[in-house]
Structure 1
Amino acid sequence: MSGPGPKALFVGALTRDTLYRVDDFSRGPGKYITEGTVSTASGMAANAATAAARLGGCPALWASVGGDALGPALIAEIAAEGVDCSPVRRVPGGRSASATIIVDGSGERWVLVDYDPVTQRAPEASELPDMSAYAAAMVDVRWPEAARIALTNARAAGLPAVLDADVAPKEILEDLSRHASHVVASAPGAAILTDGAAPEAAAARIAETFGCFACVTDGAAGSFFVEGPGLPTSHIPNPVVEVIDTNGAGDVFHGAFTQALAEGQGATDCIRFASAAAALKCTVLGGRLGAPNRKNTLKLMDETYHASR
């Protein structure tokens, strides 16, 4: 790919994340001294958009921030990554979202997120950016009313409409899945959506139930995907890397997957590309900060699967 890549719209969360590295956090209640701290603009959709930008795309972000001093700072930080943040709305009287994250010595994490219902209130359909400007759309579950609007309009325009089906109330996951062309779920999100099915079975059940492409990511076990109802389930293993921090890996996966879809890549290459990008993110502490560039992602993709683009 030469020159700027296709433009995708990312819809959902924009937060301030404060991450603490605590090697022995799993020992239980008590006092801990951190091994490192990172504070950064983040959020599922914002992280995915950043990944798409670093991978060669021209993404845009439709998110919601408060009228506080934090809002403009969050927007500026994501815009500096090459993400078009002009669609981000600012809500007077609202509070911008924030999260506290603890990462232990194995790279696993605990996440506490604070969303203000005033800031995250439902948008009007007229607030949706013009979908004719985009080659794909991806939404997360943190701003569900906006997600539904974006998915519905992307489908109407004949565009890939990707749902990041992470942990959320089942009714939200079901509602948004009905409007998506591609449901890409974490294993915990898929379990909620399918009443506890294991990842491989969950992928097939999601595809059958919602008539869509379905993929379930299962951490170190890789990804299971089904291209449509009644089709066989395929498995893509993850590249082997030294894991430092898994926080944000799923967001990077979704950003890379959506970027590859916008470029017109096939299902297998989309997931290999996303798997390589997410694996590289896990080698860096700091969520969004670990999103890799295209060169390194293609290199790891080729080394792992012997098939680069």
Structure 2
Amino acid sequence: MPNPPHIVFLGAATMDMIFSVDTLPTGPGKILPKALVQAAHGMATSAAVAAVRLGGRASLVTRIGADLMGEHFLAEITAEGVDCRHVRRFEGVPTPLSAVIVDNEGERLILPYYDSALGSDPDWIPAGFIEQADAIQVDIRWPEGAMRALTLARQAGRLAVLDADTGPSDTIIALAERATHAVFSEPAALQVSGAASIKEALPVLDRRFAGFVAVTGGASGCFWMEGEQVQQALPPPVKAVDTLAAGDVFHGAFTLAIAEGRSIRDAIVFANAAAAIKCASLGGRLGTPDRATVETLLAGR
């Protein structure tokens, strides 16, 4: 694109060790993995990488340790083309780490660790940097930072997208109230709405929040409201090898698409395709496709 939108992503950053196994563990014991992939991850991080691979410009605002693992994180994400000038490093604090186990069906078990010494203070986030972006996207892993970024973006009239994954309900609600677009995971949608299904939860959430609301449901695709009607867009069928970071890729692609001025339906179809392609290979965000691959898939449909 001649003038791609600039999106600021704020939230989670981790170094992940991804183990491939036949089946997820159900109790104590020892499992010998078939494969191991190590990669820089995190909800905001993976979404930022997706936006760049799909043709946008992305900056990352997050917190990591001033340690060797942090060096690896910065090297990987900078190599992807993401602006990491506002990744803050803390001395004597370990970079967040996740152990991820992925089974033959692509389902995963995640054990993330974020050291409390990273703190929660968001005051160091530069206001002008947020206000001058075309759009921002935040997740719920650093609520104080997300609230500051959403507030600054709304005051500046920018798109402000929330990746509303599972967490404390009051945190999700507070952030969703500040977002122009809130895209919920299925578990978070059911948790906040008290409903038993996505189709029951969506109207509740749509009435609760002033901005646009959608819910992602994995292989069931994405649901949103048009008027009083629930809409659903299914992703392209793929053989799922690894669903890790699929939601992050969806969010990064969706935010890029609406920042480009696409309609909601077109943005969701685009994001569905990007996330589906990602699921076809092991390694979390490493399977994120480029724009040409997504557009080729959509053209074939």
TM-score, structure 2 normalization? 0.96
Question: Which residue identity lines up with residue 266 of structure 1 in the other structure?
Answer: S
- In structure 2, C-alpha distance between the alignment counterparts of 1:64 and 1:195, rounded to whole Å: 33
- In structure 1, C-alpha distance between the alignment counterparts of 2:225 and 2:119, rounded to whole Å: 33
The answer to which of 37-46 and 120-129 deviates more is 120-129
CA contact (8 A) 2:18 2:101 kept: yes
Map residues 221-232 of structure 1 onto 2, 5 A cutoff.
Answer: 221-226=220-225, 231-232=228-229
1:289 paired to 2:264? no
1:264 paired to 2:261? yes
Identity of aligned residues (%): 43
Q: What secondary structure is seen at the aligned counterpart in 2 of 1:86?
A: strand
1:235 paired to 2:232? yes
Task: Return the offset for 1:55.
Answer: 0.1
User: Which residue matches 1:190?
Assistant: 189
CA contact (8 A) 1:8 1:137 kept: yes
The answer to which of 62-71 and 22-31 deviates more is 22-31
CA contact (8 A) 2:246 2:278 kept: yes
- In structure 2, C-alpha distance between the alignment counterparts of 1:107 and 1:126, rounded to whole Å: 36
Question: Which residue identity lines up with residue 273 of structure 1 in the other structure?
Answer: F
Task: Return the offset for 1:156.
Answer: 1.3
User: Which residue matches 2:4?
Assistant: 5
User: Which residue matches 2:156?
Assistant: 157
Task: Return the offset for 1:248.
Answer: 0.5
User: Which residue matches 1:111?
Assistant: 110
- In structure 1, C-alpha distance between the alignment counterparts of 2:52 and 2:155, rounded to whole Å: 25
- In structure 1, C-alpha distance between the alignment counterparts of 2:119 and 2:199, rounded to whole Å: 33
Task: Return the offset for 1:4.
Answer: 5.0
Distance 1:105 1:176, change over 3 A: same
The count of aligned residue pairs is 301
Task: Return the offset for 1:204.
Answer: 2.0
Unaligned runs of 5+ in 1: 305-309
User: Which residue matches 1:76?
Assistant: 75
- In structure 2, C-alpha distance between the alignment counterparts of 1:206 and 1:137, rounded to whole Å: 21
What CA RMSD, in Å, does the superposition of the two structures yield over aligned residues?
A: 1.5
- CA deviations on 1:118-168 (whole Å, 9 max, x unpaired) are 214222165445234311110011111000111111111111111000111
Q: Name the structure where strand makes up a greater proportion of residues.
A: 2
The answer to which of 63-72 and 249-258 deviates more is 63-72
CA contact (8 A) 2:9 2:137 kept: yes
- In structure 1, C-alpha distance between the alignment counterparts of 2:196 and 2:129, rounded to whole Å: 37
User: Which residue matches 1:46?
Assistant: 45
TM-score, structure 1 normalization? 0.93
Question: Which residue identity lines up with residue 58 of structure 2 in the other structure?
Answer: P
Distance 1:125 1:112, change over 3 A: same
